[in-house]
């Protein structure tokens, strides 16, 4: 049952049609047996009265007084018809049904009693005593009341079913609206996730290109320029060219590893402290500037993301010294293992700069941005301490996250685009200060 049929059931259709049926059948048979104009006129009057009060004005059925007037007039007409022809007793039976479908509460039983009284009193039966008439009245009332009660139960159940169906339709419509809203929200979330993924991958590639190819090309360019300045010294030129070739190979290898999402080569077979020593030694050999590495606390394996982040920060800090602190004579790196965090400090005694200008106006500003992005991705803290003529110090503090099970003996993804939430439960407990060497 769908559509409009949900609002109008079979019982509703039957309830509307039964009064006409109970009136039409005795009228037809009465007129066929004996044509009497008064019967036709009264039958037409009863049908028109029902049409006017009930069929054409269904809202009036909710008004008890209007229905009481309707029922009284209908009962009077039926009583007159029964007085003319007892065949209209059938119409009186229909009045019992009307009493329970149109009259509310106790009024329905009053209507049944009135109908039974009319049927008993107007039906001509000579010789009936008052006791017999009373008995017939009571029996008719009881039987009609029982049948009417069943009708009332059926009607109430029908109303409850319609209310339930209506509620189900409203619930279904609400669920459909929610489903449509959820589908729209899911589409927006997928779009946002896709855009975030694209942005994250762009940032990852930008950091990796800067930390591998750009730094390698800078080192190669430095070696070639030094070789050009020492053309008269063949051994020095060869040494510079050899260093340039080594840088080119290492940069190419690191670029390939970045594209494949592998750990940096220095971390492949060594822990972070050893990798920092190796990177610093190569940097000193290339630039000719002395650099030292000190380790405090208890060195231990860390999550691949943590070790990769600190190594990249150290590489970028050393590259910045090469590019922007030519006057620096010493560089010191300190790796501090604490209970819940690990801190990397890099300090130099170069020219320094004005804080707040490096991120946008100075050459190589993206390096500082990339370092900060790497650290904050791990819910860490990145601090720069510098002033013109006083050297530069950077401090990277990240949670000391232990290695994942998949880190042991395997390459880990260094820059998976997980946000800070991936490490959000390892919070930075305050500012641990600068632990670098005084240089």
> What contacts 296, CB < 8 A, 6 or more positions away?
334, 335, 336, 337, 435
| Predicted local distance difference test score (pLDDT) of residue 89 | 82
| Predicted local distance difference test score (pLDDT) of residue 420 | 39
| Predicted local distance difference test score (pLDDT) of residue 201 | 61
Nearest to 430 by CA among 393, 394, 399, 407: 399
| Predicted local distance difference test score (pLDDT) of residue 210 | 62
Provide the pLDDT confidence category of residue 297 given band limits of 50, 70 and 90. Answer: very high
| Predicted local distance difference test score (pLDDT) of residue 299 | 92
Mean model confidence pLDDT for the chain: 77
> What contacts 12, CB < 8 A, 6 or more positions away?
158
Identify which of 55-59, 265-269, 280-284, 413-417 has the greatest average pLDDT: 280-284
| Predicted local distance difference test score (pLDDT) of residue 382 | 94
CB atoms inside a 10 Å sphere around CB 219: 23
List the strands of the sheet with 341-348, edge to edge.
Answer: 291-296, 331-337, 341-348, 392-399, 381-386
Flag whether pLDDT at 291 surpasses 80: yes
| Predicted local distance difference test score (pLDDT) of residue 30 | 87
Nearest to 202 by CA among 368, 415, 413, 396: 415
| Predicted local distance difference test score (pLDDT) of residue 313 | 92
Question: 18-32, 123-137, 155-169, 386-400: which range is least confident on average?
Answer: 123-137
Provide the pLDDT confidence category of residue 403 given band limits of 50, 70 and 90. Answer: confident
| Predicted local distance difference test score (pLDDT) of residue 141 | 67
| Predicted local distance difference test score (pLDDT) of residue 250 | 72
Provide the pLDDT confidence category of residue 163 given band limits of 50, 70 and 90. Answer: confident
Measured at the CA of 399, the angle between CA 396 and CA 400, to 5 degrees, comes to 110
E strand or H helix that includes residue 290: none
To the question of pTM greater than 0.85 for the whole model, the response is no
Question: 53-62, 72-81, 418-427: which range is least confident on average?
Answer: 418-427
| Predicted local distance difference test score (pLDDT) of residue 408 | 44
Flag whether pLDDT at 360 surpasses 70: no
The whole-number average pLDDT for the span 25-32 is 88
Flag whether pLDDT at 363 surpasses 50: no
Cα–Cα distances (Å) from 252 to 50, 61, 310, 317, 362, in that order, read 98, 91, 21, 20, 27
Question: 17-21, 300-304, 321-325, 354-358: which range is least confident on average?
Answer: 354-358
């Amino acid at each position: 049952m769908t559509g409009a049929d949900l609002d109008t059931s079979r019982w509703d259709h039957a309830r509307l049609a039964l009064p006409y049926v109970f009136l039409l059948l005795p009228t037809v048979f009465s007129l066929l047996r004996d044509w009497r104009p008064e019967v036709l006129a009264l039958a037409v009057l009863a049908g028109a009265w029902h049409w006017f009060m009930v069929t054409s004005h269904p809202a009036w059925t909710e008004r008890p007084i209007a229905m009481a007037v309707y029922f009284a007039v209908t009962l009077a007409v039926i009583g007159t018809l029964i007085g003319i022809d007892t065949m209209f007793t059938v119409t009186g039976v229909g009045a019992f049904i009307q009493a329970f479908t149109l009259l509310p509460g106790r009024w329905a039983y009053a209507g049944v009693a009135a109908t039974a009284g009319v049927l008993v009193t107007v039906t001509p039966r000579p010789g009936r005593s008052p006791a017999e008439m009373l008995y017939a009245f009571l029996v008719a009332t009881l039987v009609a009341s029982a049948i009417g009660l069943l009708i009332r139960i059926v009607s109430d159940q029908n109303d409850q079913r319609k209310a339930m169906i209506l509620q189900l339709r409203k619930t279904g419509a609400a669920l459909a609206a929610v489903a449509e809203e959820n589908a729209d929200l899911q589409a927006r979330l997928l779009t946002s996730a896709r855009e975030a993924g694209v942005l994250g991958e762009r940032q990852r590639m930008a950091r990796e290109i800067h930390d591998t190819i750009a730094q390698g090309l800078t080192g190669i360019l430095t070696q070639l320029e030094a070789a050009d300045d020492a053309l008269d010294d063949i051994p020095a030129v060869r040494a510079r060219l050899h260093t340039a070739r080594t840088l080119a190979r290492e940069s190419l290898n690191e670029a390939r590893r970045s594209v494949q999402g592998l750990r940096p080569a220095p971390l492949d077979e060594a822990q972070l402290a050893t990798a920092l020593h190796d990177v610093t030694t190569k940097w000193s050999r290339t630039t000719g500037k002395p650099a030292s590495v000190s380790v405090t606390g208890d060195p231990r394996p860390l999550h691949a993301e943590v070790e990769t982040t600190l190594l990249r920060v150290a590489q970028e800090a050393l590259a910045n010294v090469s590019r922007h602190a030519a006057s620096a004579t010493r560089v010191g790196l300190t790796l501090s293992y604490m209970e819940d965090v690990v801190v990397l400090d890099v300090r130099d005694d170069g020219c320094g700069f004005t804080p707040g200008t490096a991120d946008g106006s100075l050459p190589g500003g993206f390096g500082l941005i990339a370092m900060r992005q790497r650290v904050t991705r791990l819910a860490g803290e990145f601090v720069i301490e510098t002033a013109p003529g006083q050297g530069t110090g950077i401090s990277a503090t990240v949670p000391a996250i232990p290695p994942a099970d998949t880190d042991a003996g395997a390459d880990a993804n260094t820059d998976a685009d997980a946000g800070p939430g991936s490490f959000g439960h390892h919070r930075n407990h305050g500012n641990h200060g600068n632990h670098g060497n005084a240089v």
